[in-house]
Amino acid sequence: MINDIGENLKNFKVWAGIMSDLFGRGNEKMFGSTGSNLMTRYLDMVTNKPIYRIELKEDSSNVETMCYDLMDGFSPKLNKFYESVDELPKWVQDTLSVLMVVDHTKVNQEIEKVGRRISKDVFWVYDRDEEDGINTRS
């Protein structure tokens, strides 16, 4: 029973995090009827591969990460905090550099198999591996 409670809490945290990122910034009007489709898509996605939420803190050079996943036994590959972007793994730095060109004022801008820019300082980085043709562990 305790495992069920823990699993349900984890599922809720993932769901709440995704909802907050997608709809918590006044974006709900811009997404319109596609909002529920997006939510379903991302919940399906995190059952196979994690989405890393990367937040660049405005008041410092610190970086905070969070992992959205619904996989049994998964252990995130990123630390929770980094002193700067330079300390992030190279594959995350490379992904952020690609996502930085996305206009954060336009909603629903995604680069397939790479990630999405949620806001000026918040990014979703999709976990990638050999099957995607990209080795992210170098």
Please tell me the predicted confidence (pLDDT) of residue 36: 59
In a domain? residue 75: yes
Residue 38 in domain: yes
- Would 138 be classed as within a structural domain? no
DSSP letters for 41-104 = HHHHHTTTS-EEEEEE-TTSS-EEEEEE---TT---SS-SEESSGGGS-HHHHHHHHHHTTS-T
85 belongs to a structural domain: yes
| Tokens found for residue 20 | 């907050």
Establish if 105 belongs to a structural domain.
Answer: yes
Is the residue at 51 inside a domain?
yes
Q: What is the pLDDT of residue 10?
A: 59
Q: Which pLDDT score, from 0 to 100, does residue 5 have?
A: 47
Pairing relationship of beta strands 63-68 and 51-56 according to DSSP bridges: antiparallel
Residue at 95 is within a domain: yes
Domain assignment present for residue 137? The answer is no
Single pTM value for the model: 0.72
Question: Scanning the structure block, which residue is given the tokens 């970086």?
Answer: 63
Q: Tally the domains of the chain.
A: 1
Segments forming the whole domain that contains residue 101 = 2-132
The pLDDT score that the predictor gives to residue 81 is 94
Beta-strand pair 122-126/115-117: antiparallel
- pLDDT by residue, tens only, the chain of 138 residues: 444 545 555 566 666 676 666 655 555 444 444 555 666 777 777 778 888 999 998 877 899 998 888 777 778 889 999 999 999 999 999 999 999 999 988 866 788 889 989 888 999 898 876 454 444 444
> Which residue, among 132, 136, 102, has the nearest Cα to 118 in the 3D structure?
102
Token duo for residue 48: 């196979």
